Amino acid sequence: SGIVAVVGRPNVGKSTLFNRFTESRKAIVNDVAGVTRDRNYGKVEWNGREFSIIDTGGYVDGSDDIFEDEIRRQVHLAIEESDVILFVVNVEDGITELDNGVAELLRKSNKEFVLVVNKVDNNKRSLDATEFYSLGLGEYYCISSINGSGTGDLLDEVVNKLPEEIPVEDEDLPKLAFVGRPNVGKSSTVNILLDENRNIVTDMAGTTRDSISTRFSKFGHDFIMVDTAGLRKKRNVNEDVEFYSTLRSVRTIENSDVCILIIDATRGVEAQDVSIFNLIQRNRKGLVVMVNKWDLIENKDTNTINEFKERIHRRFAPFVDIPIIFTSAVTKQRIIKVLEEAMIVYERRTTRIATSKINDVMLPVIEAYPPPAYKGKYIKIKYGMQLPTHAPTFAFYCNLPQYIKDPYKRYIENKFRENFELTGVPIQIFFRKK
């Protein structure tokens, strides 16, 4: 894994490049049904390596003069938080002042970066591109995001610059991550859990330079809490920048098995909560939702809880089979319950379901409501099994998989959830040719 940030002026072609990269993955692995494609975040697979890509362009809005400051700020954050920066320039425009500014920031940093000259659609333009040597960034890659030329070499170079993966020690312990918008109570929660463990906690280097994980114990179980460094010490960057918290969340989510998504009860479910939820789902990590600051909600009764749960379900649909716990980090109410639930989700996510069990349950379900015929062709599903992947993935073998549509896939997923314990666990179901 690793995080690649795409930076550059507006309209140089960042999002076209982003789409090209993320679609190359989409062709290999179907996206999880029902998850909206995020225009800022995607996963890319190339030569057996996988990385996350973040298009900073999606985070900028405002007038032209806001742009300049905002872009500089994003480059700063990208230098701090990502592993590789793709600096995109446009051969049609040549070098602009802002390009020079970004180049200077990159030269001063010791961050890995790749200079990408976009819109090189023909030979004449590849001659024009030589001008970009004067940015002082060395070699550059010429591409055309529109027709795809050069993107293979570029991907080779990006993968080449990704950091080596250092496996976390005690790889088999549950790795938990607390994620959420700024100020929802992540640090408070982490500090409660770690302070109670003062004598047991041990810090260990994570998979990347700046992500420290901490090992601790609770009710007889050992856990690893991911990315505690960012939460225990005061941060020196403005965390309110959504781009920054997304980078931070991506890093944390990727390193975990189960994510605890904290929502602020006084604010309800906001857009940023939904985008972090989508990150968790797309990385297919276990999930527990923790509605924090419940102490601040007045006049609560059982209805208050149900109403809040319904709001969460509406925003997170169709994936609503999730544990939701109402907590207070101030009174320490139900924080331990969250941990217990996370442990249960971890167990569910790692338990494999036997092929015979899957077929005993699912074949009658399929027989009762088979996939609708397509243009008079009958679709016959023969059997299913769990694949040997990390996150639960199931394959059903059939004659005409390409004709099985999303509503039917959802029906199968719902039946899976009714019959097997999968609350809090995103699953993937493929239909394959026998």
Contact residues: ligand GDP, CB under 6 A: 180, 182-188, 231, 292-293, 295-296, 328-330
Q: Of 178 and 346, which has the nearer Cβ to ligand GDP? A: 178
Question: Which residue type, as a one-letter code, is found at position 116?
Answer: V
Q: Of 183 and 359, which has the nearer Cβ to ligand GDP? A: 183
Upper half-sphere CA count for residue 78 (Cβ side, 13 Å) = 27
Tokens 């109403």 found at: 307
Phi, psi of 131, deg, nearest 5: -55, -30
Q: Of 71 and 231, which has the nearer Cβ to ligand GDP? A: 231
3-state DSSP assignment of residue 260:
strand
Gyration radius (Cα) of the chain, Å: 23
3-state helix/strand/coil string of 124-163: HHHHHHHHHHHHCCCCEEECCCCCCCCHHHHHHHHHHHCC
Closest CA to 187 of 225, 243, 153, 140: 225
Q: Least distance from C-beta 335 to ligand GDP, angstroms?
A: 9
Q: Of 52 and 188, which has the nearer Cβ to ligand GDP? A: 188
Of all helices (H) and strands (E), which one includes residue 382? strand 381-386
Q: Of 43 and 186, which has the nearer Cβ to ligand GDP? A: 186
Q: Least distance from C-beta 187 to ligand GDP, angstroms?
A: 3
Q: CA-CA distance, 384 to 405, in Å (whole number)?
A: 17
Q: Quick check: 123 and 144 in contact, CB under 8 A?
A: no
Q: Of 235 and 405, which has the nearer Cβ to ligand GDP? A: 235
Q: Least distance from C-beta 235 to ligand GDP, angstroms?
A: 9
Residue 429 CB contacts under 8 Å (≥ 6 apart), including other chains: 33, 393, 394, 395, 396, 409, 412, 413, 416
Q: Of 95 and 241, which has the nearer Cβ to ligand GDP? A: 241
Q: Least distance from C-beta 180 to ligand GDP, angstroms?
A: 6
